[in-house]
Amino acid sequence: MLTLERIDIRQDEFRLTAEFKVDDRALVAVVGPSGAGKSTLLNVISGFFAPVGGRVLWDGADITDAAPGKRPLSVVFQDNNLFPHLTAFQNVALGIKPSLKLDKAEAVRVNDALERVGLVGMELRKPGALSGGQQSRVTLARLLVRGRPLILLDEPFAALGPALRVEMLDLVAELVRAEGATLLMVTHHPADALRIADQTIVVANGVAAAPVPTQALFDDPPKVLRDYLG
């Protein structure tokens, strides 16, 4: 279980507080106006941004000061999720060993993951030779081999077309459920939240609210959300 305890984030004029828990195996959307701090919230959880106060806990263990790579989570950023000079196989293999010296079993795991995301035969292509959707699939394959229990997505498919985005969301939801992981996903589209997220966190007015059921939230949005949705 992910716990944010009296988290206090400051950056120049900007301020954001958070105090909530996320249940295991929950699929949670993070919504809110631009600049409200959705990405910053994810950066605090993933270790790229240090809060001035409060703690981040995972299953009761304090991970507030842990290095990003040592945390029990995987992140997918808006872009730059792949190294352009490495092949699809290598980009996934990094999730097992940064040294890329895989033994046979590990290589099989990489190939299995690529197969599960539908990239058979594309192992040796570099990102430049893959479509946007295929690049996203490589990233997801790496999530699979890393096997971390918490997955953070920061508007991961914003650059894809609507149909492709829906396809990728469904794939994410399927993989996360199959792995039994917990998902936190920043999105601008209520439809995305409604499509895969059981719960939603609203980030607005300097507060990241505790997760609430998504359907109920959008059926009767609070004022901040109404202003944002327009």
Partner 1 sequence: MADRAQPLIRFWPGFGAAALVAALTLGTVLAVALRAEGWAGLTPSDWAAVRFTLLQALLSAAISVALAVPVARALARRRFRGRSLLVTLLGAPFILPVIVAILGLLAVFGRNGLFSYLFGTIGLPAIDIYGLHGVVLAHVFFNLPLATRLILQGWLAIPAERFRLAASLGFASDDIARVLERPMLRNVLPGAFMVIFVICTTSFAVALALGGGPKATTVELAIYQAFRFEFDLGKAALLALVQFTICTVAAGLALWAHVPEAGAPGLDRAVERWDARGSGSRWLDAALITLAALFLLLPLAMVTVHGVPGMAGLGNSVALAAGRSVLVALAAALVTVVLALALAFAVQAVRGTIGKGVLEGIGYLAIAASPLVIGTGLFIVLFPLLDPVSVALPITALVNALMSLPFALRALVPAVAQVEHQFGQLADSLSLHGWARLRHLYLPRLRRPVGFAAGLAAALSMGDLGVIALFADPEAATLPLQMYRLMAAYRMDEAAGAGLLLLVLSLSLFWLFDRGGRIDADT
Dist. CA 189–CA 155, nearest whole Å: 10
| Residue 46 lies near partner 1 (rule: CB under 8 A) | yes
Identity of the residue, 14 or 48, whose beta carbon is nearer to partner 1 in the bound complex: 48
How far from each other are the two terminal CA atoms of the chain, in whole angstroms? Answer: 34
| Residue 85 lies near partner 1 (rule: CB under 8 A) | yes
| Residue 34 lies near partner 1 (rule: CB under 8 A) | no
> Which of residues 10, 70, 177, 226 is near partner 1 by CB under 8 A?
70
Identity of the residue, 19 or 179, whose beta carbon is nearer to partner 1 in the bound complex: 179
HSE (side-chain half, CA atoms, 13 Å) at 53? 8
| Residue 48 lies near partner 1 (rule: CB under 8 A) | yes
> Which of residues 35, 99, 223, 230 is near partner 1 by CB under 8 A?
99
Residues 6 or more apart whose Cβ sits within 8 Å of residue 66: 47
> Which of residues 25, 116, 125, 146 is near partner 1 by CB under 8 A?
146
> Which of residues 35, 60, 98, 121 is near partner 1 by CB under 8 A?
98
Span interacting with partner 1, options 15-23, 67-75, 163-171, 220-228, rule CB under 8 A: 67-75
- Residue ranges that bind partner 1, judged by CB under 8 A: 46-48, 67-70, 74-75, 77, 79-83, 85-86, 94-95, 98-100, 142, 146
